[in-house]
């Protein structure tokens, strides 16, 4: 047997059920983050048929906005206000800021090319991604900004801040507040999004625009506004994911958007692009695959496992798990 396969079996044996639970827990947290970013990809692809390369960088900007608010409030150590309002403020600013950024990207980089060949907005998307990434590199001097979320909101001489308190344990494996926070707020945002899309008037016009833009505009829907709102919501979700990533891992850096964006897009495609439940399912799958690949195969192989599985998956089911079969029009 190949040594790599041998070590996989070995890892599964040595980690046991407790290790498997840890990997499952990490995978769920990671998967919720990917699902939030993937929702943005799937919404924008659904409405514009555009692969928005800049979306991962919007997520990165969101993480930096959250970090900026945290340092303005005197960092994780001596918070000026309580921990709950501080985290709420981080989410609010990052989501609003990323949302505005998304609308600006749509307005100045994609809208002028609404009727151009489809490769043109794709190239501007790459340009926007390049611009955002390097602008943040310029303004942050290219450093990795680490802050210690373990210290966040610590009172007295506790070992860890309230975010890292154990809520409950499964077979001796702790589940902490921040992990519940990430999964819980991701679930909350997704529920809100599903309700918005399926129950409101705006959601109806969004679905109509995604189905047929021309026909929707003939029915009196202001499609430009619907598209701008879609970008706002999609970028808002990415900004929230950025803050969650910062709270969970305590680090932000200017190139964090690329790989996360790529994996989130994988999630969107695996779920079936354009399908909102598909993006959530795909995000969870990618998160779990990544987590188990890191645990059982090794960190340096996890990306190759994801990309290899994805290419195989695309060969056998290109429309994704929950996607509908596209009908080619002549």
Assess 228 for contact with another protein (CB under 8 A): no
Minimum separation from the CB atom of position 246 to another protein (A): 18
What is the C-alpha separation between 174 and 79, in angstroms, rounded? 26
Could you tell me which residues are beta bridge partners of residue 252? 145
Binding residue for another protein, selected from 14, 155, 157, 300, defined by CB under 8 A: 300
Query: Which residue in the block uniquely carries the two structure tokens 């498997």?
Result: 20
Assess 104 for contact with another protein (CB under 8 A): yes
Within its chain, how far is the Cα of 272 from the centroid?
Answer: 16
Mark residues 129-168: x for contact with another protein by CB under 8 A, - for none.
xxxx-xx-xxx--x--------------------------
Assess 51 for contact with another protein (CB under 8 A): yes
The neighbour count for residue 86, using CB atoms within 10 Å, is 19
| Contact between residue 252 and residue 64 where contact means Cβ atoms under 8 Å apart | yes
Assess 234 for contact with another protein (CB under 8 A): no
**Tokens for 19?**
């290790």
Minimum separation from the CB atom of position 63 to another protein (A): 16
Assess 118 for contact with another protein (CB under 8 A): yes
3-state SS of 4-64? HHHHHHHHHHHHHHHHHHHHHHHHHHHHHHHHHHHHHHHHHHHHHCCCCCCHHHHHHHHHH
Binding residue for another protein, selected from 8, 38, 94, 128, defined by CB under 8 A: 128
**Interface residues with another protein (CB under 8 A)?**
45, 49, 51, 104, 107-109, 112-113, 115-124, 126-132, 134-135, 137-139, 142, 220, 222, 258-259, 262, 265-266, 269, 300-301, 303-304, 307-308, 310-311, 314-315, 318, 328, 330
């Amino acid at each position: 047997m190949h040594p790599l396969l041998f070590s996989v079996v070995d890892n599964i044996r040595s980690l046991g059920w407790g290790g498997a639970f840890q990997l499952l827990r990490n995978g769920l947290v990671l998967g919720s983050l990917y699902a939030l970013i993937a929702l943005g990809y799937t919404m924008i692809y659904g409405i514009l048929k555009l692969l928005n390369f800049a979306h991962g960088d919007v997520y990165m900007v969101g993480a930096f906005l959250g970090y900026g608010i945290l340092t303005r409030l005197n960092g994780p150590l001596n918070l000026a206000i309580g921990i709950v309002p501080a985290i709420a403020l981080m989410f609010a600013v990052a989501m609003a800021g990323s949302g505005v950024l998304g609308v600006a990207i749509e307005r100045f980089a994609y809208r002028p090319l609404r009727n151009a060949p489809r490769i043109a907005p794709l190239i501007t998307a790459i340009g926007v991604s390049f611009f955002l990434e390097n602008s943040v590199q310029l303004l942050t001097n290219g450093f990795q900004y680490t802050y210690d979320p373990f210290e966040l909101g610590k009172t007295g001489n506790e070992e860890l801040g309230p975010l890292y308190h154990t809520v409950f344990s499964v077979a001796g494996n702790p589940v902490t507040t921040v992990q519940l926070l990430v999964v819980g707020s991701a679930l909350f945002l997704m529920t809100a999004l599903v309700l918005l899309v399926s129950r409101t008037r705006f959601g109806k016009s969004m679905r109509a625009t995604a189905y047929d833009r021309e026909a929707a505009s003939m029915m009196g829907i202001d499609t430009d506004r619907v598209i701008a709102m879609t970008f706002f919501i999609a970028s808002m979700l990415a900004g929230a994911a950025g803050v969650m990533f910062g709270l969970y891992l305590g680090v932000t850096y200017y190139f964090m958007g690329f790989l996360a964006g790529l994996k989130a897009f994988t999630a969107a495609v695996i779920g079936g692009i354009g399908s909102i439940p598909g993006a959530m399912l795909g995000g969870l799958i990618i998160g779990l695959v990544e987590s188990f690949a890191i645990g059982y195969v090794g960190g340096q192989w996890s990306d190759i496992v994801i990309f290899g599985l994805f290419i195989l998956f695309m060969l056998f089911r290109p429309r994704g798990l929950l996607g509908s079969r596209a009908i080619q029009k002549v």
